[in-house]
A and B are shown apart, each in its own frame.
Chain A
């Protein structure tokens, strides 16, 4: 098993893996069967040759040859190269032997099959000798080898072709499913639609995944709905709370202690109220409430509420520096773009220091809010999480940056954080 540099197993495609084992198996079988085939063919050839020899002899015996005279035998031997009638050599039964003999025609030693058989001519015992050259065998071996080579080539080509083409077709639904799972995101309202397949395993794979996704999406949805419903249901008790505190504040002759508490309660309700509104906003963004898009001038959004934010910055005596020379226009939902800009403003004010500074810059594709604040960088890993607060005593509810991030995700804008020259930078990059 091969291991990559990073310690992970190197991955092979399933198709290549099955093809490779097929190929190895086919080559091994072919290599092993080639000699076996050779020996079997040779044995069969020898067997056939021997049968022919016996057949010739029987033909000789059955024919008129048993009436041969001495001179006939001499003549026979003279004109037959391969058959010889010799005086009895003492063989009692047919016997065939393989021997290498000198062949004058080719001038070298060649393999022969030789039959020795007892025959009776004119009641006199003789030995019948017939020999057959096995020289065609060599040519046959070459033919067999050629044939095997052809078979190997055709077979391998076939295996490769089948696995590349036909197997690729078979595995297509699998890769299709895989791609769709990779593209699936639970927070987007798009469930994957698997292509129907006639392969049982893939069909059941698709069904299982569909079921899994369906179940998880339902759980995710109910979770999301829970947040929205909870925030919604809280509105009524909050309204009750608020009106009651408003009424209580009208009471005559309240002691100072009671007034302090009622005043504090008023602030608490405001905070609770804003927290709840932000939760509602987050779940509304999740539920695709803000889909309608149109061109939005970011610069206009920054300038729209600048007076409000200057006022909010007054207690800290913040100075605002706007570097809005570049007109930045993006196509998005105007309400959400405004929420984004406002939250960036709010974040820069909330985490600022006394006599601090806020610098807002636009470029062709970015808007940057830089602000003074704590003299060390924030933990950017946790920064954009819901309810993550660097300063626990801060008035913020910890949702501002989560909302910024959510709006960024929805629009595929990149939201990044940087800390340099004692300034905290929040940069929105538009594609």
Chain B
């Protein structure tokens, strides 16, 4: 899978690149509008991460060019700008998602995975990990074909953990991901523990492996045994 990161801050694009690498995602970087337009003209990408503020111009110009080339599907805007107007303009110009800086790499990854799933949608939309499968349309989880009694939030958490397998996920990253728009209102991240505990229990009691590991001082990690 090929991703183009249009971002003028090299440290950010480098971090994204490194974080995505273990998942077989190949990242290319464009640090300016010019470079981005060149690359868009030459190559095909599965997903484009687009920063709106570039040294030589506006990210919206790139969106317009993508629209002209009919290549808009798979654009996630990553921007420090956070007004309703820029969001609406971004979506109107064909962007699929909008992530405000600063963000967690884990969140960017699951959003990208979701985007690509939507893009490559082929009738069934099921994610499997060993004996666990998540039906995104039916909103249910089965372990060895046995349906689990699971909440929507727990499904979100499961998808997030599986999507970021083998990565250490901090409590704050999980809390912010689960809270969505309400993340700004978080007072503590303690509720994450309860959700993790419940999910872990539901999975193990139904016969699934104990994939959720606690990482000392840092958080949790989804890891194949």
Contact = CB atoms under 8 A, between A and B. Distances in A.
Given A242-B104, A246-B105, A308 B184 contact: no
Interface string A256-273: 100110110011011001
Contact of A243 (B12, B190, B217, B219): B12
A81 to B, nearest CB: 113
A312 B191 contact: yes
A349 interface: yes
Contact of A240 (B11, B167, B217): B11
A247 interface: yes
Nearest to A350: B187
B184 A259 contact: no
Interface in A135-193: none
Contacts of A240: 9, 11-12, 102
A346 B171 CA distance: 20
A342 B182 CA distance: 9
B18 interface: yes
Interface stretch (A22-30, A277-285, A411-419): A277-285
A242 B103 contact: yes
Contacts of B184: 274, 277-278
Interface string B55-98: 00000000000000000000000001111100000000000000
B155 to A, nearest CB: 16
Given A266-B170, A284-B83, A312-B188, A243 B105 contact: yes
A241 B172 contact: no
Q: How large is the interface on A (under 10, 10 to 19, 20 to 34, 35 or more residues)?
A: 35 or more
A305 B103 contact: no
A385 interface: no
B211 interface: no
A236 B15 contact: no
Given A242-B102, A243-B105, A266 B171 contact: yes
A349 B187 contact: yes
A272 B16 CA distance: 21
Interface in B172-225: 172-173, 175-176, 179, 182, 184-191, 194, 215-219
B191 A314 contact: yes
A239 interface: yes
B147 interface: no
Nearest to B106: A246
Given A262-B217, A263-B170, A314-B191, A243 B11 contact: yes
B189 A259 contact: no
Given A244-B15, A259-B217, A350-B187, A249 B168 contact: yes
A17 B177 CA distance: 71
Interface string A295-310: 0000000000100100
A242 B104 CA distance: 7
23 contacts: A232-B80, A235-B80, A235-B101, A236-B9, A243-B12, A243-B19, A246-B15, A246-B104, A246-B173, A249-B170, A250-B167, A262-B217, A263-B171, A266-B173, A269-B172, A270-B189, A273-B102, A305-B185, A308-B185, A312-B188, A314-B191, A315-B190, A349-B187
Interface of B: 9, 11-12, 15-16, 18-19, 80-84, 100-106, 167-168, 170-173, 175-176, 179, 182, 184-191, 194, 215-219
Interface of A: 232, 235-236, 238-244, 246-247, 249-250, 254, 256, 259-260, 262-263, 266-267, 269-270, 273-274, 277-278, 280, 284, 289, 305, 308, 311-312, 314-315, 335, 342-343, 345-346, 349-350, 395-396
